[in-house]
Each structure stands twice: as C-alpha cells, then as structure tokens.
Amino acid sequence: MSAPVVVVVGAINVDLVVAAARLPGPGETVVGGGVQRHGGGKGANAAVAAARAGAEVLLIGAVGADDTGAAALAELRADGVDTAGVAVLDGVPTGVALIVVDDHGENQIAVGAGANAAVEAEHVRETLRTVLPRAGCVLVSTEIAAAAVAAAVEAAAAAGVRCVLNPAPVVPVVAQLLGHGPVLTPNSTECRHLAALVDADSPAEGVAPPGARALVARTGAPVAVTLGGDGAVVVVPGADPCPVPPLPATVRDTTGAGDTFNGVLAARMAAGDGLVAAVRTATAAASLSVGHVGARTGMPHAAAIAAALATP
C-alpha cells in the first residue's frame, strides 16, 4: 500500500526576482543587476518541498489559462507534484510575485493574486472529497480566496485528517477556523498578529514568543512558530515549549524558507512522525534552503536532509 498523500491547498505564482544591494523605501527606486524568474506561491512552494522530501503530493489551487500558468504547472509536475487539483481558469491571470532580495538575503514581496483569489470553495471541497480517504496531512496557506481556505480546513477536520494551517499572511478567516484545531505554523510576527486578531494576546514565555500560548489555548493543538535564524519552537498544550535549533547557514535568500518548513513538516507528519521530530526535519530542510536565490532553488531532497541531520 502506498504512503498517505500530502494535500497542499494554496497559491501558485511566478516570482520575478531582482537582487539589489538594499530594499527600496517608499517612493524609492533601487536598481539591481538583472531579473530572474522562479516558480513561486506559498502553496506551490510547499508542495515542491514536500515532494522533494519524499512525499506523494496533490496540489489544490488555480492558475490562469495563460502561458505563465502552463509553465508553472509543467515545473510543478517536473518536481513530482500531482497538479490534478489545480483549476485552469479563463479570464484571470496566473498569480505573480514581484520580489526584491538584498545583500543580506532579506526580501520584500508584492503579490498580484490573479487566479489565486478565484480558487472556489466548491472546487476545494470536491477535490478533497476524493483524496481525503488516502490523505495523511492537509496543508493550507492563506494567499488564496478566504472561502477556499475555510473549505479546506473544515473538510480536513470533518474527515479527521491532520491539518497544518500556515497563516501567511494573517487574514481574518483564520480566526474562524481555530476551533477546528489545526496545527498553526506562523512566524513570530504572524504569531503576534494572529493572537491580536483573535484578541488572545499572551506574553513571551521562555522560548515561546508573544501570542503562542494564547493560540494554543484557542486551538487546543500545538503551534510551531518559525524564528528565522533562531530555528523554531513547538508550543503544546500543558507542556514546556520545545526549541528546535536551525542548521548553520549562509543566507542568500530566505524567500520560501517558511514554505520549505511547512512542506517538509506536512510530509513528515503524513509519514507518521511525531510533531517535534517532524519540526526538527522541517527546520533542518528550511535551513538548507536559504543558501540560494529563488524560493525553490535551495529546497533539499530527502537524502540531503537526512545527511544534514546526521552531521554532528
């Protein structure tokens, strides 16, 4: 019997990346050397990360009926992602992200949502209906239509399939979904913003950042907060927070580091790992990903992740 499937519900973009010495301020122009085109979108990136980590992956989302969309799907299939759940929509463009990366690997991103904003809840429900019986984890991120996000989390909960909800960006619909008990994976800023959104602030507690405890109380489920160069921390109901260190990394571009974390986390959860073990693997994979420009360029395959984890 084949391993449980990872289902990713999220955005698909093409990323246009300019590397410049520093990020522009408001109203300012900075000039970089050239422009690179990379596959992007938080859903598509996480799907690729999960597939490279060894999972069977089905992606649910939407692209426009244009050359950009066709190229995005071809790239995803080349990485082993099943795109049968991606709708090809007339009359809307494929999503585009305009990204500037500075000399320190920091980025600035503006997204034109295009087809991502048109992902229909009914499409999500219908696709999940057929795949949930063999799913090990559903990973949802929030760059798509709010109703589609809600449909995914609700369907996973109703089917009793483990659900990871990456609140990136923090949008109001997330507040309505906390009662379904998804494993939340915010970065530290998103953690604070989400806690404020649901009026459930909590102070920092040891290695747990502000808001984390309050979110755990709301979901009754673990929250895994990513902390950039400080790795991640797992906060669970009724226990001490568990810090997970990163691997040392030379940072060239952190775009997609969070997506790598989420995709590998979902892959390992679907494979049956406990949450802390899955977060350890996800954190290591994300650390490996930041050494290259482009969201997916540095995403490691399973063998590279295993080798890095085995290195003392």
Choice between 4 and 182, CB closer to ligand ATP: 182
Q: What are phi and psi of 158, to 5 degrees?
A: -65, -30
Check if the beta carbon of residue 81 is closer than 8 Å to that of residue 59: yes
Please tell me whether the peptide bond between 169 and the residue prior to it is cis, using omega within 30 degrees of 0.
yes
Contacts of 170 (CB under 8 A, 6+ apart): 142, 186, 190, 193, 194, 197
Q: Which residue stretch of 11-19, 216-224, 228-236, 275-283 sits at the interface with ligand RIB (rule: CB under 6 A)?
A: 11-19
Q: Kindly tell me the burial class for residue 230, based on how many C-beta atoms sit within 10 Å of its own C-beta (0-12, 13-18, 19 or more).
A: middle
Using the 8-state DSSP alphabet, how is residue 134 labeled?
Answer: G
Which is closer to ligand RIB, CB of 255 or CB of 287? 255
Decide: is 294 part of the binding site for ligand RIB (CB under 6 A). Answer: no
CB 101 within 8 A of CB 255: yes
Question: Which among ligand RIB, ligand ATP, none contacts residue 281 (Cβ within 5 to 8 A by kind)?
Answer: none
Q: Which of 97, 150, 271, 279 binds ligand RIB (CB under 6 A)?
A: 97
φ, ψ of residue 111 to 5 degrees: the values are: -110, 130
CB 297, min distance to ligand RIB, A: 11
- Catalytic amino acids? 259
Give the one residue of 5, 15, 150, 298 binding ligand RIB; rule: CB under 6 A: 15
Site string for ligand ATP, 189-228 (x = CB under 6 A): -------------------------------------xxx
Q: Is 109 in the site for ligand RIB (CB under 6 A)?
A: yes
Closer residue to ligand RIB in complex, CB, 43/136: 43
Alpha carbons 65 and 295: distance in angstroms, whole number: 23
- Residue 41 interacts, among ligand ATP, ligand RIB, none and using kind-specific CB cut-offs from 5 to 8 Å, with ligand RIB
**262 and 49 Cβ atoms separated by less than 8 Å:** yes
> Which is it for the CA torsion 147, 160, 49, 77, positive or negative?
negative
Contact flag: residue 255 with ligand RIB (CB under 6 A): yes
| Closest distance of CB 43 from ligand RIB, Å | 8
Radius of gyration of the chain (CA): 18
What is the CA angle 8-284-243, rounded to 5?
100
Cβ atoms of residues 61 and 116 within 8 Å: yes
Binding of residue 119 to ligand ATP (CB under 6 A): no
Query: Minimum distance from CB of 190 to ligand ATP (Å)?
Result: 8
Decide: is 258 part of the binding site for ligand ATP (CB under 6 A).
yes
CB of 213 to ligand ATP, least distance (A): 18
Name which of 112, 70, 63, 68 is nearest 90 in CA terms.
63
Residues 134-193 contacting ligand RIB, CB under 6 A: 143
| Residue choice 83, 152, 259, 269 for contact with ligand ATP (CB under 6 A) | 259
When CB distances are held under 5 to 8 angstroms depending on the partner's kind, the choice from ligand ATP, ligand RIB, none that residue 97 binds is ligand RIB
**Structure tokens belonging to residue 71:** 């190229």
Is residue 241 at the binding interface for ligand ATP, with CB under 6 A as the rule? no
- Which does residue 11 touch among ligand RIB, ligand ATP, none (CB within 5 to 8 A, set by kind)? ligand RIB
231 binds ligand ATP per the rule CB under 6 A: yes
- CA nearest to 183, candidates 237, 145, 244, 147: 237
